[in-house]
A and B are shown apart, each in its own frame.
Chain A
Amino acid sequence: MSKKSNQSRLYVPEPPFRPGDKPDYSHIKVPAEMTPPRPDPMCDAHETAAHALGLIRVLRLTGEKEGPWDPNINADTLRAGLRFMMINRAMDERMFNMQRQGKLSFYMKSTGEEAISVAMAMALNDNDMIFPTYRQVGILIARGCPMQDMMCQLLSNKGDALQGKSLPILFSFKDYGFFSVSGNLGTQLIQGVGWGMACAYKGTDDIASVITGEGATAEGDFHYALNFASTYRAPCIINVVNNQWAISSFQGIAAGEGETFAARGTGYGLATLRVDGNDFLAVYAAMQWAAERARRGGGATVIEHFTYRKEGHSTSDDPTKYRPKNDGEVWPFGDPIERLKAHLVKIKEWDDERDEALQKEIADYIRSSYKAAEKLGSMATESGIAPETMFEQVYETIPSHLEAQRAEFMIENARKVGEE
């Protein structure tokens, strides 16, 4: 081995705090100024290079709104957003507990990230296809998907439209513009860009909105997606939900600590926005801006939603093993639900009485939906799904070899049942 002539050493990034540390995020500045400015959505992509390094905010932590990105949406819409986020959180609580009770094998909460999915769905048109990850059930809630239908997919019972063919949380609801969540991270980024290109090919006004966590931006698919979106000026929005954690790997593992995730888009010549993901109004405004740009032929925008995953990665994860227990509480950007609530109170469109009534209404909705769903089966009982259906939808029509296999299976199954 030759003698080292420089000072380089192998560097492995570490998160700022581990269990036992007292987390202090004072180094992450909550920008006091409600800048950067809001350029015309058809601006040159380079005009948004600075936006990839800043942070778009509308709501102050105290509830006031200000700045050029205020989307000026009315109180009814704001209350609807609040309601959807609260439903999302209540659903998560219920399903997490039901997983602990053995009614489903697996669940993933969206806690702390509700504003991103809900504001995205509300800012887009219903015909725009969203290619989500497993942490955006808020999209389905905001687009009116019945709670019981979602719960039946989670329980894989006879009310499940997928007939038990996919696992909990990999929802699939084409009618609500919610593409089947892929279990392989990243693949849907490039497919979503392809969907957007198909919209342009067909001459429709629709766009695609694709989502990844910051962890999966390390997948090649993310880079292909940005490259193709740039080459063909695809009408789509590429969202990176930076919730700081990919299971136990902090965001510095995914991409190093030198640059923001939004800035990834700059090198590909795409418009780039970085937004406070806990700020309902800011997410709404950023989505509106990017959707207008895509629809008017300006191409894709990369949006980094800066947020924090308040709970474990999934029901299989215990985050206290790798980060301080109160990490989420001291996170300097607050809670998206509390922040929107504070704003509505500030503008006198919300109060304790209404809040209590809504809490109760949601609790009833979640409870009654769950009860109705569980009546149709769960992991603890019988799915109630007819076994012969597993041969369906492998192909559009069942080929003869599979029909033969099904016939053989049914005879064998009937024999087994007869013996018991």
Chain B
Amino acid sequence: MPIEIKMPALSPTMEEGTLAKWVVKEGDAVSSGDVLAEIETDKATMEVESIDEGVVGKIVVAEGTENVKVGAVILQLLEDGEDASSLSATLEPASQPAKKPEPGPVHETAKPPVATKSNLPPETVLPTNVNMVELTVRDALRDAMAEEMRRDPTVFVMGEEVAEYQGAYKVTRGLLEEFGSKRVVDTPITEHGFAGIGVGAAFGGLKPIVEFMTFNFAMQAIDHIINSAAKTLYMSGGQMRCPIVFRGPNGAASRVGAQHSQDYSSWYAHVPGLKVVAPYDSADAKGLLKAAIRDPNPVVFLEHELLYGETFEVPDMDDFLIPIGKAKIRREGADVTIVAHSRMVGRSLEAAEILAAEGIDAEIIDLRTLRPLDTETVLQSVKKTNRIVCAEEGWGQHGVGAEISAVVIQEAFDYLDAPPARVHQLDVPLPYAANLEAMSLPGVDDVVRAAKQVCYKD
């Protein structure tokens, strides 16, 4: 096969040019790098170099030809031992589309994409003799970190004020004392900086827990979280791994204003390569954080400042882990499914009590993980209740509720007795004044109203 020299492109936007001059003629011997021709465009002139050594077999495009398409064969070069008979009489146009791919190796057993129960991580089954202890969410998170740090010397925690000050919200209380300053590391005030350090340390074989004082400040670090942590495994073809946990409070606290109150659930849940967890109670906070620390992928762990001080029961046992990717039915019910995560789970549970008094039996699903999303549990519930309300604290547009609603409409349309309803924050930056703040955020009443609406009971 002779070597084909094609019309080169000077820039990605160049489509054609003029073959101004041939520097060689048929029969000339050329070696790699020799100039063969001069090409002109309206912008510049360039030389075409030979890419190999050989003998000029055939000049396909004559000198002076204008509008030669990029990629068109302009010359054929004969390699060692080839003679002119190997030159193709009729050249294929260079713009011919690439050969179609062979059929891929599809297994005959490939099934339609219906997730089966076996695909999901199993729910944690507690031993029958386990005691339950009361614990705040704050201490449950601390215990999770401490247990994993005892278990694995490559686990360490870093962030602003995590060591001496024991965390801006005291989540790292006692860790410095037990593990020392090399494993509980105070950092300079730069989220972008210490997120990058954490990502680099994870690449380097450690398992960092990066605490953000709030996820509002992690906006500065989002390039490391998304462009590096989430994508490097993929872009390196599986060579570079990033087992890291980014954790901290997310969403609205109390009267801290628009810049300190944003809910980033849907931002991170949008990104392949990340796992995103948003627990509600102490047991989930502990079991899921331990699972996140052990996970080989980057995990964004969204906590809630207003839940830190709340007390819930936690099983008193070693190695209490909750699988990432599995929602939990918090309350069984027959009339309407309410899907929530983080603090809205509590508000939905309160709403369920009010609804029960009015004769509406609500089923409450705590998503717990936002990516991968356990749509199966949601769909099964909707097929039973035929109604759904999606409740979240963040803004509605492109929110978690929007995603759940779309999945339900697509996969369980025929089961629905009412359009899905969404409960979310008003479409404004969170105002500061207490009354405005409270009215802007979704509350128990909003969930009740939405549930009654889908039950046609309002």
Contact = CB atoms under 8 A, between A and B. Distances in A.
Nearest to B119: A400
B98 A381 contact: yes
Contacts of A396: 233, 241, 296-297
Contact of B8 (A100, A400, A410): A100
Contacts of A198: 200-201, 203-206
Contacts of B232: 180
Contacts of A355: none
A367 B32 contact: yes
Nearest to B183: A201
Contacts of B127: none
B236 to A, nearest CB: 4
A147 B106 CA distance: 33
Given A166-B235, A401-B115, 14 more contacts: A165-B236, A172-B236, A179-B240, A180-B236, A195-B200, A221-B192, A318-B43, A363-B32, A367-B52, A386-B104, A396-B296, A408-B112, A408-B113, A417-B103
A404 B204 contact: no
A257 B33 CA distance: 39
Interface of B: 5-6, 8-12, 32-33, 43-44, 48-49, 51-52, 70-71, 98-106, 110-115, 119-120, 154, 156, 182, 187-188, 190, 192-194, 196-206, 223-224, 227-228, 232-241, 272-273, 275, 296-297, 325, 372-373, 375
A287 interface: no
Across the A-B interface, give the 8 residue pairs with the lowest CB-CB distance, nearest first: A194-B200, A198-B204, A190-B196, A400-B119, A191-B200, A224-B193, A100-B8, A162-B237
Interface string A369-406: 00000000000111000111000111110011111110
B200 A101 contact: no
17 contacts: A100-B8, A162-B237, A184-B223, A192-B200, A194-B197, A195-B200, A197-B197, A201-B182, A208-B204, A396-B241, A400-B115, A400-B120, A404-B113, A404-B115, A407-B111, A411-B112, A413-B106
A195 B98 contact: no
Q: Which has the most chain A C-beta neighbours within 10 Å: B11, B51, B373?
A: B51
Contacts of B223: 184, 187
A399 B325 contact: yes
B70 A102 contact: yes
Contacts of B193: 190, 220, 224-225, 227-228
B74 to A, nearest CB: 11
Nearest to B100: A420
Nearest to B32: A363
Nearest to B230: A394
Q: Which has the most chain A C-beta neighbours within 10 Å: B114, B196, B202, B228?
A: B196
B236 A166 contact: yes
A174 interface: yes
B101 A387 contact: yes
Contact of A102 (B6, B100, B192): B6
A202 interface: yes
Interface residues of A, number: 79
B115 A170 contact: no
B235 A228 contact: no
A247 B102 CA distance: 41
A162 B236 contact: yes
A172 B240 contact: yes
Interface of A: 93-94, 97-98, 100-102, 105, 129, 160-163, 165-166, 170, 172-175, 179-180, 182, 184, 187, 189-199, 201-202, 208, 220-221, 224-225, 227-228, 231, 315-316, 318, 320, 363, 367, 380-382, 386-388, 392-396, 399-405, 407-408, 410-411, 413-414, 417-418, 420
A254 B120 CA distance: 51
B83 to A, nearest CB: 20
A392 B272 CA distance: 11
A367 B10 CA distance: 23
Contacts of A202: 154, 204-206
Contacts of A418: 103
B121 to A, nearest CB: 9
B51 A193 contact: no
Nearest to A397: B296
Nearest to B324: A399
B106 A410 contact: yes
B51 A316 contact: no
B239 A194 contact: no
B100 A407 contact: no
A316 B43 CA distance: 13
A294 B341 CA distance: 47
Contacts of B48: 100
Nearest to A396: B296
Contacts of A388: 104-105
Contacts of A162: 235-237
